[in-house]
Amino acid sequence: MTKLLETEGLQAFYGDFQALFGVDISVGESEAVALIGANGAGKSTFLKALTGLVPSRAKTLSFNGAPVSGWPADRIHRAGMALVPEGRRLFPSLSVEENLLVGAAGGRSGAWNLDAVYDLFPDLVEKRRNPGTALSGGQQQMVAIGRALVRDPKLFLFDEPLSNLDAKLRVEMRSEIKKLHHKLGATMVYVTHDQIEAMTLATKIVVLKGGVVQQIGSPSEIYNRPANLFVADFMGSPAMNLIPAKARRNGSGTRIEIDREGGAPVVLHDTHAGDLPEDIILGLRPEDIAEAGFRAGEDVQEAECLIDMVEPAGADTYVVSRLGGTSMTARLHAETSAHPGESMTLAFDLGKVSYFSPESGQRLN
Ligand code: ATP
């Protein structure tokens, strides 16, 4: 895959404040990369550093084969990076089409590709002569994206483009952006703090915290094999259960012991765990815990748990129970007989387990 964008050791600064600490990311042609992290993680700063809007330093900052470090924003814009900022910001006195063409004159080829916009967003065709204010929220968002698309850019940079939309519109617009990627093979970097957006849109996810990359991987790698406790906790809703435990090697594998207040520890046997230190954090996603009898397989282990809370959620029921001294959420089937205050045997799929070091927070398996 041809690399379109590459950063190595990218640092960014607001005066004395350093917001990015050596970010290494590469974006291949036709890739959709989601940059995800909590508020203040440095996601928008990454886009601003790429486009010359904040001062940055890097070992490598190259776009389309050329080093662009230190280039002014307008030159980067002309080279084919198009930033779609947060919010819609249409000019009310201009028509929809005029709004689409604002700023387009500096496009890569000098030509305007209005057809690409109307092909992707046919809703805008009959509205083209209407004022920008006569559009629905979703249509205004289409114009905001169309304004980048009309320039036929090589790389789209989306900065939380859907954050101001209601839940239904977000889902609709998410598929429009996915279409942009699939239909046109558009290359994009997509900033969000919404993990569903990241999982559904991206071919590659970058998790950022405090200006430092935590993990880069496919959506399934990030979800199934989080590199550390931060990623494990951040990606997934409800979050991955993280349970302190002890690991002891025995003949047939590893004995995992979870302390239980005032009783014998819960013991699970993992035959594939490999070498683990004694103190571990066991990570298991809610969907990898089932009611006994509803999950089979050689790695499935059962334990008795005391139910604290039952939360029906339509298709599934979330059941909060205690395993040792730790609260744990299981995603059970809708008709579960779980009842608060009662015990229930739950089945744990250790084939899906993650182990982390409590000291370093890093993944161990
Ligand atoms: P959000 O999801 O809230 O938009 P983000 O991940 O995009 O967050 P950034 O906006 O990139 O985060 O901010 C990264 C850090 O840089 C934060 O600590 C923020 O306070 C700081 N920062 C951002 N803009 C400025 C600025 N203009 N001056 C000083 N510090 C700034």
DSSP label at residue 363 = B
Which single residue is written with the structure tokens 């969907």? 287
How confident is the model at residue 107, as a pLDDT?
A: 45
- Return d(Cα 154, Cα 3) in angstroms, integer: 12
CA distance 149 to 156: 8
23 lines ligand 1 (CB under 6 A): no
The per-residue pLDDT for 111 is 62
How many Å lie between the centroid of ligand 1 and the Cα of residue 45?
A: 6
pLDDT digits (tens, 9 = 90+) for 179-230: 888 887 889 999 998 898 999 999 999 999 999 999 999 999 999 999 999 9
CA of 38 from ligand 1 middle (Å) equals 11
40 ligand 1 Cβ < 6 A: yes
Q: Give the pLDDT confidence score for residue 91 in this predicted structure.
A: 85
Average pLDDT, the chain: 90
Output the pLDDT for position 106: 45
- Whole-number Å distance between alpha carbons of 218 and 224: 10
pLDDT band at 108 (very low <50, low <70, confident <90, very high): very low
Assess contact for 226 and 235: CB atoms under 8 A. Answer: yes
| DSSP 3-state of 74 | helix
Residue 81 has pLDDT above 60, yes or no: yes
* Interacting residues of 260 by C-beta distance below 8 A, sequence separation 6+: 266, 324, 325
pLDDT digits (tens, 9 = 90+) for 20-70: 999 999 999 999 999 999 999 999 999 999 999 999 999 999 999 999 988
Dist. CA 242–CA 285, nearest whole Å: 9
**221 C-alpha to ligand 1 centroid (Å):** 27
Task: Give the number of residues written for the chain.
Answer: 365
Collapsed DSSP state (helix, strand, coil) of residue 212: strand
**pTM of the predicted protein model:** 0.91
- Over residues 283-296, the mean pLDDT reads 91
First-last CA distance in the chain: 30
pLDDT value at 105 more than 60: no
Q: Using CB atoms within 10 A of its CB, is residue 93 exposed (0-12), middle (13-18) or buried (19+)?
A: exposed
Query: Is pLDDT at 345 greater than 80 in this prediction?
Result: yes
Instruction: Pick the atom of ligand 1 nearest to 159's CA.
Output: 7
- Give pLDDT, residue 17: 97
Cα 239 to Cα 223, 226, 363: the distances in Å are 11, 12, 16
Residue whose CA is closest, atom 9 of ligand 1?
42
CA distance 296 to 290: 10
Q: How many Cβ atoms sit within 10 Å of the Cβ of residue 51? A: 21
| Nearest Cα residue to 5 out of 68, 92, 54, 48 | 68
**Which of the four pLDDT bands, split at 50, 70 and 90, describes residue 115?**
confident
pLDDT digits (tens, 9 = 90+) for 229-265: 999 999 999 999 999 999 998 877 899 999 877 777 8
Instruction: Strand 32-36: give its sheet, edge to edge.
Output: 81-84, 155-159, 187-192, 32-36, 204-209, 212-217
